[in-house]
Structure 1
Amino acid sequence: MIKKYEIGTFILRVVLGLTFFIHGLDKFQGGIENTVGWFESIGLPGFLAYGVGLVELLGGIALILGLFSRVVSGLIALIMVGAIVKVKLDVGFLGNGQMAGYELDLAFLAMAVFIAINGTNAYSLDNVILKGKDENGNTTTLN
């Protein structure tokens, strides 16, 4: 039997995954070179754009499917910390009228950290692949 918090975690996982998949897809469809240039313009190495784009694109798919959810969520949390500190912190929580603030980034960060800490069992490929095994390899019942 799936507990209520697992349904809530499933919803967070799918929404976070879908959001980041679309962001990653946009980076590559719009020309990753634009993102590389923007990274360089804010003082970051351009090659990081490829890493961020791949984490968003492939990590988003993985989250939707429930595959490597803790690892992917940890990577997304790092991306959100970087976005907040490097880009959004100076414009404030709500923004400055020309640029959005970090309120949405903070919400995504909280979602990612929650999933990274708690994992997710409901409707996840990890659950199917691991077949309810605990850290010792013993079969468990996932409730």
Structure 2
Amino acid sequence: MSNLSDLGKLVLRVALGVLMLLHGISKVKNGVSFIGPSLAANGLPEAFAYLAYVGEVLAPILLIVGFWTRPAALIIVVNMLFAVFLMHMSQLGELSKSGGWALELQAFYLFNGLAVALLGAGKFSVGGNGGRFN
């Protein structure tokens, strides 16, 4: 049974990491300048936009390989909280045209990040079960 649990952690960790990394690759290609004005409008330095690379490139890579998994997952959670706060607050109570929540993608990343932070990496990871941050 333990192997199935660890396999489930691997699937969750890699799915979250790969899907978030795709957003990060887009930001590497196109930049993060579109985030700056939203940060400034909320009294935060525009330079904070570069932290999107940490949340959408570095943290997903750490998740995929299973190293410092819990902190990486928490970084994704914080990244998604900022994304919702800065870019999607107006959609908080909206439904999509197909009837789903307008923020279901953001919620997927946020809550799966929280789940990985709580569950850890499992034994199918570089850090293994025994690592303090895994």
Pairwise TM-score range, normalised by the shorter structure: 0.7 to 0.9
Equivalent residue, structure 1, for 2:50: 50
Structure 2: unaligned runs, 5 residues or longer: none
Q: Report 1:1-143 matches (<5 A).
A: 2-37=2-37, 39-40=39-40, 44-91=44-91, 92-95=93-96, 101-127=102-128, 132-133=129-130
TM-score (norm. length: structure 1): 0.74
Superposition deviation, residue 45 in structure 1:
2.7
Deviation track 1:11-46 (CA, whole Å, cap 9, x = no partner) reads: 111011111211112112112334435544666432
Task: State how far apart, in whole Å, the 2-side matches of 1:95 and 1:42 are.
Answer: 26
What RMSD in Å do the two structures reach over aligned CA positions?
2.7
Structure 1: unaligned runs, 5 residues or longer: 136-143
Task: Call closer, same or farther: CA 1:93–1:111 in 2, change over 3 Å.
Answer: farther
Which amino acid is the alignment partner of residue 5 of structure 2? Y
Task: Call closer, same or farther: CA 1:89–1:120 in 2, change over 3 Å.
Answer: same
Q: Does the 8 Å CA contact 2:37/2:46 hold for their aligned counterparts? A: yes
Task: Call closer, same or farther: CA 1:40–1:134 in 2, change over 3 Å.
Answer: closer
Task: Call closer, same or farther: CA 1:90–1:113 in 2, change over 3 Å.
Answer: same
Task: State how far apart, in whole Å, the 2-side matches of 1:86 and 1:38 are.
Answer: 6
- SS of 1:126's equivalent? coil
Q: Does the 8 Å CA contact 1:89/1:101 hold for their aligned counterparts? A: no
User: Share of identical aligned residues, percent?
Assistant: 26
- SS of 2:67's equivalent? coil
Of structures 1 and 2, the larger Rg is shown by 1
TM-score (norm. length: structure 2): 0.79
Q: Does the 8 Å CA contact 2:6/2:124 hold for their aligned counterparts? A: no
